[in-house]
Amino acid sequence: MKNTDAPAHVRGESVYLDDLPLLQGTLFACVYDSPVAHGVLNHIDLVEALKTPGVVRIITAKHLIGENQIGGIIADEPLLADGHVHFQGMPIALVLAESDEAAREAAKKIKADITPLEIITDPRIACAKNELIIPPKRFRLGDPAAAFGRCDYVYEGRADVNGQEHLYIETQGAYTVPMEGGGIKVYSSTQAPTAVQRAVSKVTGLPMHRIEVEVGRLGGGFGGKEDQANPWAALCAVATQLTKRPVKYSLHRMEDMRMTGKRHPYSADYKIGLDKNFKILAYEAVFYQNAGAAADLSPAVLERTLFHCTNAYFIPNVAATAYSCRTNLPPNTAFRGFGGPQGMFVIESAIAHAAEQLKAPASIIQQANLLKTGDEFPYGQKAESEAENSWLQAERHFDFEKLRQEVEAFNAENTFFKRGLAFMPICFGISFTKTAMNQARALVHVYTDGSVAVSTGAVEMGQGVNTKMQQVAAQIFGIPADMVKIHTTNTLRIANTSPSAASATADLNGKAVEMACRAILERLDRVRAGMGAVGAGASPAPTAPDLQNWQTTVNAAYLQRISLSEHAHYATPSVHFDWETAKGHPFAYHVYGLAAFQVTLDCLRGRYEVDFVKTVHDFGTSMNTAVDFGQIEGGIVQGVGWMTMEELVYDAAGKLRSNALSTYKIPDIYAVPKQIDIEPLVTDRENLAIFNSKAVGEPPLLYGIGAYFAIRNAVQAFNGSVSPACDAPFTPEKVLMNLYAAHEKEPGIVDVYRKAAENR
Ligand code: MTE
Ligand code: HPA
Ligand code: MOS
């Protein structure tokens, strides 16, 4: 089945927040945000702004009726600055005007008197000053100190990995409408309707049942709208509460980039110990997470960094510590992988370091340490591993030996172009690491004409979850997919939703849809059994009736006053975790896979191209290969962008310098891999995924890490004396510096040039 949204997308008919027809009397909002990253807010001068034609009102912290607080995990984030500012881009005031232009014009005229305070942008400095969001978190397995003593080789180093701008095509926004009796209806571009409902409830002081949140679809979220859709909805809601008028705010791209948090940058120290057979006996890592100025989701992201710090490897002795460090950047947030990718980059850096010292390809170390079924993760769960199967199937299918030989031959023949090959195994746990969040509900109505309406807590953000939900209902009922309509996500139809996140949306909501449909089907089967001559149901009740039978049975059920609706609740069985011991069984299952990357490097210019990505991916049994292959291709490109060209630059004043698409480069069609081959891993294991179709949203992004190490290998093929720092992204500028890095220390590099020229 094709993605059901595709036709409307390509025709421009899909309806996003900014496409909603507006009610008469709608006001337009614009935030005035802090121009200073840290300081005391003495005074806000609104005089000139209020004179702007069309301006109706300007709201500041003191006007709020409810609490000035939007922190989800920790209550440490005011909606509007009150007394202090903590990052550049922090909302200070909200202008309301009769037009979008007037609101933005007026916002420019606001001035704030701020006494500057010390600005911290580096997480290591924050940690040294004990500026921590939460106490450090630790994972431990075995006895690392003793194990290092038994190692033949021990290497220590540092790895740094930058953040990433989400760059959802649809920017953040909200539209709020006053309802009878003081309630508020909120249209929001959010992955988390209930989080928006809670935030609006808090800042307005209204109980949650007076607030309806409605989500049609998102033009991308990627984690950026798991928590950070809240402030815009909360601001609009406060404005609606105070003015009794509808209020709309749809952020401009540069407002969005400046004011919202991103993937967390991390800095880390590692120590890796191996025996003679390249078995990793011990691993230590200390992670410094750059959380930004408030907690947001950082504590949960930090946890997932620890959960994935050993990637797809079994290491018997592990000590990992993670600090969530408070800096004066916009609060960083969820982003595809949720801290996992950062943890994996560090272990891959450690392995690359060891490989370089041992003069062996990294793949030998990687392959020697892959998880086996029954191996214990540092958090206590036992692996049901597909790591070795993925690797072996990829090795056979793509002929790694030939790929290696071709790269060697190319590099022997070429001087100013070098190729690099790298392999990236992945292992990603599926479930929210906070056990309570692993629940979902679905509401299914069968109408008397036989058509079916489904509501769930799932938010469609381009990942194709609506298509999958439609498939589930159609398949259980045995009716054509076009008889099933998936409706918007709305907190009145489905309450207490978990965010559409953690790649678990289709599993959680799909299981709830399956349960609801089965409950209705059971009732229909009883009706059919009692119908005798009617339809084809005289023999034992068929579970997949043909269409006419379906319509007849539905109608009969209605006449017999049997319910044609069901609201089902699903909670993932068997998941649990105890932070006291840092052990448990947090994940329903893991997703595995292996990718091979080849890059070609232009050694004069420092530019590179990804020639191919060849992957064997563990889908379980994909229920929709069109959707799932799309997720893999998109995830890989997004991961490659993060690792290679996307460069967030904050200056010492905490100002985002790469604040537009002219300075923040994302992959375009020329930067995507020339070839992406996807082979499904052949498995027949039962799992907890919907229809055995494993979650696919986040894991493919992790493959992108392979691009970094492929480039690094190509650099070293040109300049054998350089050991490039593991400091992602590997931008062309950094590549160029590394290609000629030994120049100062080793004047002989000039000879490399000369020899190269002669060889030509
Ligand atoms: N794909 C598209 N097209 N747009 C998105 O915003 N978000 C990703 C992933 N794939 C995203 C996407 C992230 S961060 C997650 S957690 C999952 O989709 C969420 O959806 P799922 O749980 O249905 O996989
Ligand atoms: N993944 C994604 N989002 C989340 C999680 C998680 O594990 N926990 C809370 N929000
Ligand atoms: Mo995805 S980062 O869990 O929204």
pLDDT tens, residue by residue, 385-439: 999 999 999 999 999 999 999 999 999 999 999 999 999 999 999 999 999 999 9
**What are the tens digits of pLDDT across the range 566-583?**
999 999 999 999 999 999
Question: Is the predicted pLDDT of residue 236 greater than 60, yes or no?
Answer: yes
- Probe target for ligand 3 pocket from 336, 437, 696, with the most ligand atoms within 8 Å of CB: 336
- Residue 753: the pLDDT is 62
Query: Could you tell me the pLDDT band of residue 284, with boundaries at 50, 70 and 90?
Result: very high
Question: Is the predicted pLDDT of residue 631 greater than 70, yes or no?
Answer: yes
For residues 751 and 760, give the distance between their C-alpha atoms in angstroms, rounded to a whole number: 14
Question: What's the CA-to-centroid distance between 180 and ligand 3, angstroms?
Answer: 35
User: What's the start-to-end Cα distance of the chain, in Å?
Assistant: 54
- Residue 741: the pLDDT is 85
Rounded average pLDDT over 123-129? 98
Ligand nearest to the CA of 334: 3
- Residue 266: the pLDDT is 99
> Can you tell me which atom of ligand 3 is nearest the CA of 334?
2
- Probe target for ligand 3 pocket from 215, 226, 298, 301, with the most ligand atoms within 8 Å of CB: 226
User: How many other CB atoms are there within 10 angstroms of residue 518's CB atom?
Assistant: 15
Percent of the chain with pLDDT over 70: 96
Question: What's the CA-to-centroid distance between 208 and ligand 3, angstroms?
Answer: 24
- Residue 251: the pLDDT is 98
Write down the catalytic residue from 303, 386, 395, 698.
698
Q: Over the chain, what is the mean pLDDT?
A: 96
Query: Could you tell me the pLDDT band of residue 684, with boundaries at 50, 70 and 90?
Result: confident
Whether the CB-CB separation of 207 and 495 falls below 8 Å is answered with no
- Probe target for ligand 3 pocket from 338, 461, 463, 638, with the most ligand atoms within 8 Å of CB: 338
- Residue 746: the pLDDT is 55
Question: Is the predicted pLDDT of residue 454 greater than 70, yes or no?
Answer: yes
**What are the tens digits of pLDDT across the range 582-592?**
999 999 999 99
> Can you tell me which atom of ligand 1 is nearest the CA of 336?
14
- Nearest Cα neighbor of 699 from 487, 425, 473, 351 is 425
Query: Could you tell me the pLDDT band of residue 707, with boundaries at 50, 70 and 90?
Result: very high
Residue nearest to atom 6 of ligand 2 (CA): 432
Query: Could you tell me the pLDDT band of residue 759, with boundaries at 50, 70 and 90?
Result: low
Lowest mean pLDDT among 242-251, 532-541, 719-728: 532-541
Helical segments of 615-748, H only:
625-644, 699-703, 705-718, 732-739
Residues with CB under 6 A from ligand 3: 191, 221, 223, 226, 334-336, 338, 501-502, 698
Answer whether 463 contacts ligand 1 (Cβ < 6 A). Answer: yes
- Nearest Cα neighbor of 108 from 154, 51, 70, 37 is 51
Rounded average pLDDT over 444-460? 98
For residues 421 and 137, give the distance between their C-alpha atoms in angstroms, rounded to a whole number: 35
Query: Could you tell me the pLDDT band of residue 535, with boundaries at 50, 70 and 90?
Result: very low
Tokens of residue 337, six digits: 């992988």
Whether the CB-CB separation of 656 and 257 falls below 8 Å is answered with yes
- Residue 209: the pLDDT is 98
- Residue 539: the pLDDT is 45
Percent of the chain with pLDDT over 90: 95
- Residue 531: the pLDDT is 84
Tokens of residue 257, six digits: 């980039």
Question: What φ, ψ does residue 405 adopt, rounded to 5°?
Answer: -65, -40
> Is residue 591 helix, strand or coil?
strand
- Residue 749: the pLDDT is 55
Under 8 Å CB-to-CB from 8, ≥6 apart: which residues?
A: 14
Question: Is the predicted pLDDT of residue 690 greater than 70, yes or no?
Answer: yes
> Can you tell me which atom of ligand 1 is nearest the CA of 465?
23
- Nearest Cα neighbor of 735 from 747, 717, 748 is 717
**What are the tens digits of pLDDT across the range 602-611?**
999 999 999 9
Question: What's the CA-to-centroid distance between 463 and ligand 1, angstroms?
Answer: 5
Question: Is the predicted pLDDT of residue 349 greater than 90, yes or no?
Answer: yes
Residue nearest to atom 8 of ligand 1 (CA): 222
Ligand nearest to the CA of 634: 1
**What are the tens digits of pLDDT across the range 423-433?**
999 999 999 99
Lowest mean pLDDT among 6-20, 163-177, 745-759: 745-759
Ligand nearest to the CA of 224: 3
- Residue 533: the pLDDT is 44
Question: What's the CA-to-centroid distance between 392 and ligand 1, angstroms?
Answer: 28
Question: What's the CA-to-centroid distance between 338 and ligand 3, angstroms?
Answer: 6
Question: DSSP labels for 453-514?
Answer: EEEES---SSS-HHHHHHHHHHHHHT--GGGEEEPPEETTTS-SPPPS-TT-HHHHHHHHHH
Would you call 633 a catalytic residue per the annotation?
A: no
Question: DSSP labels for 155-199?
Answer: EEEEEEE-------SSPPEEEEEE-GGG-EEEEE--S-HHHHHHH
> Can you tell me which atom of ligand 3 is nearest the CA of 191?
4
For residues 483 and 502, give the distance between their C-alpha atoms in angstroms, rounded to a whole number: 29
Which strands form 247-250's sheet, in the order they lie side by side?
Answer: 55-59, 91-97, 27-33, 247-250, 173-178, 184-188, 211-215, 489-490
> Is residue 104 helix, strand or coil?
helix
pTM of the model: 0.96
Question: What's the CA-to-centroid distance between 432 and ligand 2, angstroms?
Answer: 5
> Is residue 84 helix, strand or coil?
strand
**Up-side HSE of residue 736: CA atoms within 13 Å toward CB?**
7
- Residue 757: the pLDDT is 61
- Probe target for ligand 2 pocket from 333, 432, 572, with the most ligand atoms within 8 Å of CB: 432
Rounded average pLDDT over 69-74? 97
Question: Is the predicted pLDDT of residue 703 greater than 60, yes or no?
Answer: yes
Ligand nearest to the CA of 333: 3
Answer whether 631 contacts ligand 1 (Cβ < 6 A). Answer: yes
**What are the tens digits of pLDDT across the range 8-65?**
999 999 999 999 999 999 999 999 999 999 999 999 999 999 999 999 999 999 999 9
Question: What's the CA-to-centroid distance between 223 and ligand 1, angstroms?
Answer: 8
Question: What H or E segment, with its residue span, contains residue 127?
Answer: helix 123-128
- Residue 546: the pLDDT is 82
Residue nearest to atom 7 of ligand 1 (CA): 222
Query: Could you tell me the pLDDT band of residue 633, with boundaries at 50, 70 and 90?
Result: very high
